Amino acid sequence: MNGTAEPGTWPVATALTTARLALEPLRASHAPEAFPVLADVRLHTWTGGSPPSAEELEARYRRQCAGRSPDGGEGWLNWMLRRVSDAQLVGTVQATLRRPAAGPLTAEVAWVVGGDHQGNGYAREGALAMARWLRGHGVDTLVAHIHPEHAASAAVARALGLTPTDTMVDGEVRWSGGPGSVSGS
């Protein structure tokens, strides 16, 4: 699907590739492989909470694979990040699409890279690929919520062309910008 989605319909995630990553549309069957990567307590330093159980992760993936909220008001796009060199799953990127009554198609974006794979630029590379794809599918505005002390996520947001706003939501800074400003790979 190219261009802006019609009311009640949403773009569907497709496979993407970058120099080092394959972005696979989420399937519930990813849960067993993703669990050891995402069950790391360190990942919750900035977001709070605790890692889901294997069963909770699979149930979450089943819900997210629907591609939209139960009422159809949001579109859900999720990709697993797989390193091309050895097929190792390293993290995820996601976008929640919303269409305000009087405004452009907006995507709230997020990224998670397993603790053992951080510091390699995978979040930036995966998020940039996702942002380009979103731009090609009618998204005009990107939004991210980042803990004010999370420098690595702030760097990814800057790479996406986002800037911090004065808005705080649940202790996180709201970053916003258009995917047309997405830079480098």
Q: Which CATH number belongs to the domain containing residue 43 in this structure?
A: 3.40.630.30
Domain encompassing residue 167: 16-181
With respect to residue 141, please indicate whether it lies within any of the assigned structural domains. Answer: yes
With respect to residue 144, please indicate whether it lies within any of the assigned structural domains. Answer: yes
With respect to residue 10, please indicate whether it lies within any of the assigned structural domains. Answer: no
Q: Give the Cα separation of 164 and 173 in Å (integer).
A: 7
With respect to residue 9, please indicate whether it lies within any of the assigned structural domains. Answer: no
Number of folded domains that form the chain: 1
Torsion of CA 37, 43, 48, 54, to 10 degrees: 10
User: Which pTM does this prediction carry?
Assistant: 0.90
**Who contacts 117 (Cβ-Cβ below 8 Å, separation ≥6)?**
37, 83, 88, 90, 91
Residue 181 has pLDDT above 90, yes or no: no
With respect to residue 105, please indicate whether it lies within any of the assigned structural domains. Answer: yes
Tokens found for residue 131: 């942002």
Q: What are phi and psi of 35, to 5 degrees?
A: -55, -50
With respect to residue 48, please indicate whether it lies within any of the assigned structural domains. Answer: yes
Cβ–Cβ contacts within 10 Å for residue 166, how many? 6
Mean pLDDT value across the chain:
90
What band does 8 get if pLDDT is binned at 50, 70 and 90? low
Residue 5 has pLDDT above 50, yes or no: no
With respect to residue 2, please indicate whether it lies within any of the assigned structural domains. Answer: no
Q: Give the Cα separation of 66 and 102 in Å (integer).
A: 26
* Top-confidence residue, 51 or 92: 92
Could you report the per-residue pLDDT of 62-107, keeping only the tens digit for each? 999 999 999 999 999 999 999 999 999 999 999 999 987 777 789 9
Indicate the residue type of 40.
D
Phi-psi region of 67 (alpha: psi -120 to 50; beta: other; left: phi over 0): left
Instruction: Determine the Cα angle at 94 with ends 72 and 82, to 5°.
Output: 135
With respect to residue 6, please indicate whether it lies within any of the assigned structural domains. Answer: no
Cβ–Cβ contacts within 10 Å for residue 99, how many? 18
